[in-house]
Amino acid sequence: MTNEMTETRFPYQDASLGIDQRVDDLLSRMQLADKAGMLFHTMVAFADPEEGNPTFGIPSAASMVRKRRMNHFNLLGAAPSGREFAAWHNALQRLALESPLGIPITFSTDPRHSFSDNPLTSLMAGPFSQWPETMGFAAIGSPERLERFAEVARQEYLAVGLRVALHPQIDLATEPRWSRIAGTFGEDADLTSRLVVGYIRGFQGEELGAESVATMIKHFPGGGPQKDGEDPHFAWGREQVYPGGQQEYHLKPFIAAIGAGATQMMPYYGMPVGTDWEEVGFGFNKDVITGLLRDRLGFDGIVCTDWGLLTDVTVFGADMPARAWGAEQLSRPERMLKALDAGIDQFGGELCTEELLGLVEAGRVTEDRLDVSVRRLLREKFVLGLFDDPFVDESTAETIVGRADFVTEGLDAQSDSLTLLTNTDALLPLARGVKVYAEGVDVETLAAYATVVDAPEQADVAILRTKAPYETGDKGGFSDLFHTGSLEFPADEHARLTAIADTVPTVIDIYLDRPAVLGGLEDSAGAVIANYGACDTAVLRVLFGERSPQGSLPFDLPRSMDAVVASRSDVPFDTENPTFRFGHGLRY
């Protein structure tokens, strides 16, 4: 907390008044441009506030605050330390206070406590404590353990001024090829429903307040059933299909999230095909947002579209068209109208405030319609305490971010999430000092446990750290960051791994960002262990018996790609005769 606030001049600045009274007062003082700016939630780069980000085509934060009256930003990148992070945040809040109404900024973030690094979906941990991906918490299976992670993440977010988590992702991983499985809790709706309750409680507390981080639940109504496992960030992955008629199954976690107090919701890009819903992306879909989410499920919180539904852009030198699936033929103002009519409150990843102002001035959108969404957005800012003190303490941030006990807890969670699939002749745990041939392991870290040798023939055991297979496309841009295609190891790589296993007892540790087809490696290797984001130290502690693996598979591991292709994208546990079933996990 700081003492940088300006004097109280208007009722909305008076913390002793009720929130509804403060919202009403501020709303009455807002110009049309202020209201329009509230409906946009786009990226901002960790950089000088007066400088833009050419990679994403983002203008400077200062210009978006001053000229477009925007005050919701999704932060890209991170500072090297908590103190620098907090100082940057405070500088932006001072900028916001200079505006006529002094509306504070709400900063949001994609997940940033794990290992994934894809600017469209998640960020590296950087100065924060590092934990397994959410899939690792599904493997642990404890809502209480997940709540503790969320409590730690909440403290680190609060310390640097991040007040909205653009997560959790509670899509169900019923299509094994889908590239975004690592961010889910697996394919079981009941497990996901239990876990999301703990997640929300850890970030928000018993109810949303000044010490909370709000959670934006995604991706309604469940983004898992993607046709052929392709992702709707891209035109070739726009279709979401339900060959098994399992729409209700995918809704279960969202119903649990609403019951747990979720205040924000993000629809996905996908366009439902072959259902009773309109065949248009969920962000434009009135059947889904108003009919299902608001009317049937009773959700009255903020609905923010996924990023980039309105405007075509170029990123990394490749064209990235607006994800206006089913509405491609509409102009940008028409897309905006359709989304507003569907019931959204904010446009994610957009900053075309002039288009919205033009629609109001032309009489195509009423100011009353804007007020509906602005009221929701203002209310959340007040509930989070941003109007009473938007600043953070830079010394506190230095102490909290990456705190030693948080780092230790994150490391323990990484180890505990590991899932032991096979352990022939009790190969694991290994004895210290054995001669090890290793791939994908830091030599210095391994040297604390074993004697490192240069070839399998010289070793007592091999440790091979690898990743679930994927195919690299040739479409360019960001698409290469999404792991898609076959789940089988390429023949030459499979043969190479098998040859090592034939030479020396071998431990294969595989990062399962998707459910890999092992193709017999489970038989040739002495032990196979799965991880969901774990550093070398976390893995070696388990391999050498300092900790026992506690994880259980959060999805089936399919027997073959033929079985995957034959399965129904929306149906859980639908691949024939899987190699390992959901819930499998050995102990020692």
Candidates 511, 550, 547, 548; CA nearest to 531 is: 511
Number of H helices and E strands in the chain, helices first, is 19, 18
Is residue 18 classed as helix, strand or coil in its secondary structure?
coil
Instruction: Say how far residue 309 (Cα) sits from the centre of its chain.
Output: 18
Candidates 378, 391, 392, 387; CA nearest to 14 is: 387
Q: Which residues of 106-121 are buried (b: 16+ CB within 10 A; e: fewer)?
A: bbbbbbbbbbbebbbb
CB of 272 within 8 A of CB of 362? no
- Which residues face 319 on adjacent strands? 314
> In this structure, what token pair is assigned to residue 302?
């903020």
d(CA 268, CA 231): 10
Secondary-structure percent of the chain, ordered helix, strand, coil, rounded to 5: 40, 15, 45
The three-state DSSP-derived secondary structure of 322-365 is: CCCCCCCCCCHHHHHHHHHHHCCCEEECCCCHHHHHHHHHCCCC
At what angle are helices 247-259 and 189-204 packed, to 10 degrees? Answer: 20
Contacting residues for 459 by C-beta, under 8 A, at least 6 apart: 435, 436, 437, 453, 504
Start-to-end C-alpha separation, the chain: 48
Contacting residues for 140 by C-beta, under 8 A, at least 6 apart: 146, 413, 416, 417, 550, 551
- Is residue 287 flagged as an active site residue? no
For 235, other C-beta atoms within 10 Å of its C-beta total: 14
> In this structure, what token pair is assigned to residue 8?
């109280």
Give, in order, the Cα–Cα distances in Å from 88 to each of 1, 85, 95, 392, 581: 16, 5, 11, 10, 47
Please report the sign of the dihedral spanned by the C-alpha atoms of residue 272, residue 276, residue 277, residue 279. positive
Helix (H) or strand (E) run with residue 118 in it: none
The 8-class DSSP code of residue 218 comes to E
For 48, other C-beta atoms within 10 Å of its C-beta total: 12
d(CA 270, CA 239): 6
Q: What is the CA radius of gyration of the chain?
A: 24
Candidates 173, 172, 136; CA nearest to 254 is: 172
List 34, 188, 306, 570, catalytic entry: 306
Supply angle C-alpha 63, 66, 71, rounded to 5.
95
At what angle are helices 82-97 and 143-160 packed, to 10 degrees? Answer: 60
Written as one string, the DSSP assignment of 142-171 is -HHHHHHHHHHHHHHHHHHTEEEE---B--
* Positions marked active-site: 306
